[in-house]
Amino acid sequence: MSGTHLAARISKASRVTGAALNALSASPSEWLPAALRSSNG
């Protein structure tokens, strides 16, 4: 695995984590259906 590939994965993971934190700060009715869809998909 190249360094740039690893950096890209870390960057993506940090974006996903940030999106998850933003979603958690929203109302559950907004993020819960999306979380269920993503876990099923």
- In the chain, what percentage of residues exceed pLDDT 70? 93
Confidence of residue 41 (pLDDT cuts 50, 70, 90): low
- pLDDT score at 1: 65
Residue 1 contacts residue 8 (beta carbons within 8 Å)? no
List the alpha helices (DSSP H) in the chain: 3-25, 28-40
pTM of the full predicted structure?
Answer: 0.45
Confidence of residue 30 (pLDDT cuts 50, 70, 90): confident
CA distance 35 to 5: 27
pLDDT surpasses 70 at 13 = yes
Over the chain, what is the mean pLDDT? 82
Residue 12 contacts residue 20 (beta carbons within 8 Å)? no
CB atoms inside a 10 Å sphere around CB 38: 8
Residue 23 contacts residue 30 (beta carbons within 8 Å)? yes
